[in-house]
Amino acid sequence: MPTTHALHCRTKIVATLGPVSSDYETIRDLALAGADVFRFNFSHGTHEDHAARHAIVRRVEAELGEPIGILADMQGPKLRVGPFADGKVTLKPGASFRFDLSEEPGDETRVRLPHPEIISVAKPGSRLLMDDGKLAVVVEKVGPDWLETRVEVGGVLSNHKGVNVPDVTLPIPALTAKDRRDLDFALGLGVDYVALSFVQRPEDVSEARSLIGERANLLVKLEKPQAMDNLAAILELTDAVMVARGDLGVELPPENVPLAQKRIIRMARKLGKPVVVATQMLESMISAPTPTRAEASDVATAVFDGADAVMLSAESAAGQYPREAVQIMNRIIWRIEQDPEWQASMAIARLAPEDYVADAIASAAQQVADTIKAAAIVAYTHRGATAFRIARERPLCPVLGVTPTHEAARRMALVWGVRAFVSDERKKVTSVEEMVETAQDVVAHAKVGSAGNSIVIAAGVPFGVAGSTNLLRVAKIP
């Protein structure tokens, strides 16, 4: 078992837990290998499974002494065809095929589509994709409870395969009854982020926000073309976003997905919202001990684009090499972040500050730190907002977020370049002198810099008041 923590990268790693990674030893190995946030996929497993994983993650967090974030990923509305009498059929290109609401098992001419919402909004010319886009049909006629289609891309269609409808906005909520039960359970556990699946409209985000409140940060998964059409409004309402390239890659042409990824990252960074790039990053490592060179380049591209985090799905949840997948992802990130061209690209892509005091302080902290080659920026932050703002500036030195709550520290685990520390409630900062002393203690604990190096401190006066970032100070490491 490894005994030392991986090198701290600026770009974070989200690792999904599943059947092969639910025991203490494996979860500890993944954390030591470089995982900053663990994803619980509520499409699989029971509440008891997730509760057991949650307890182990918190045990590992206490033993390692560093905050670990937990992301609860809601399943969302899954659209599927019904069953077939023989379990499957072969759809031939050019053939007619009907979708209806009949409960009779399907055959080579028709199948049940238990989603009247699709029938209600489909129009002639609408495309339906099945089995992750492997099959495609085009609607020719629409009836009150049926769709007559022509097979465009044929193949084998079996029981309960998924259906995607990329051309229309479906009148279905992003949170199903199952999601609401799962959400209530996850919030009761005390997860740090909740991921909302299959978002189409800003209203989907508002609904989830009303249920979550301040109990967790909200992360929107962008996997529908309709969400891309409403991107600006959705980003304003969420705390973080995910480029969910699986379903997004089914509903968008493949050549459009890289452009969508760059657009999402660019807009999220402008707003200071953490952005995660996910799906198939090291897919071959589900069954191989090393990734393909194309996968390594994919991870590197996300790092160059300025993503806050990259995510492993089946690689760490069900693959044969979960620890190795995290290790190689960490190595790729570390290597890219040491490259002078990457550092130059971060400087070129740096954004102008917004016109309010806290953002001006964050921008100034980055400029001062880079100018004087500071060992670290120490950000005093009550709920994490100051650290989020400074991370938006992509400084080259570490950002050490100091917060009075474990909840805020864990939420910062997803944020680019930020290492979070929970301050001692018995040593509340009440003066500038105490602020400097505590910052020096945090830098020593983080093992960054050496005696005589400068540190930049961002805080707010009066101390301990959320949202009051208005002070910048330079100090020396004693």
Catalytic residues: 39, 80, 221, 279
Cα 344 to Cα 91: distance, rounded to the nearest angstrom: 52
Q: How long is the chain?
A: 478
Cα 90 to Cα 84: distance, rounded to the nearest angstrom: 11
Cα 362 to Cα 389: distance, rounded to the nearest angstrom: 6
Q: Which residues are within 8 A (CB) of 441 and not within 5 positions of it... i.e. 6 or more apart?
A: none
Cα 194 to Cα 208: distance, rounded to the nearest angstrom: 9
Which residues partner with 270 through β-bridges?
Answer: none
> Which two tokens mark 335?
């290597």
Cα 154 to Cα 192: distance, rounded to the nearest angstrom: 43
Write out the H or E segment, with its range, that includes residue 433. helix 432-446
DSSP 101: S
Q: Distance between the two ends of the chain, CA-based, in angstroms?
A: 36
Let me know if 18 is exposed, middle or buried by CB neighbors in 10 A (0-12, 13-18, 19+).
Answer: buried
Cα 24 to Cα 145: distance, rounded to the nearest angstrom: 51
Contact, 395 vs 369, CB < 8 A?
A: yes
Which residues partner with 39 through β-bridges?
Answer: 16, 71
Q: Which residues are within 8 A (CB) of 339 and not within 5 positions of it... i.e. 6 or more apart?
A: none
> Which two tokens mark 387?
């650290």
Contact, 404 vs 387, CB < 8 A?
A: no
Contact, 190 vs 140, CB < 8 A?
A: no
- DSSP-based helix, strand, coil % in the chain, nearest 5: 40, 25, 35
The residue assigned the tokens 């309010």 is: 356
Let me know if 344 is exposed, middle or buried by CB neighbors in 10 A (0-12, 13-18, 19+).
Answer: exposed
How far is residue 96 from each of residues 59, 93, 148, 367, measured CA to CA in Å?
Answer: 57, 9, 7, 64
Please give the backbone phi and psi of residue 166, each rounded to the nearest 5 degrees, phi first. -75, -20
Cα 449 to Cα 365: distance, rounded to the nearest angstrom: 17
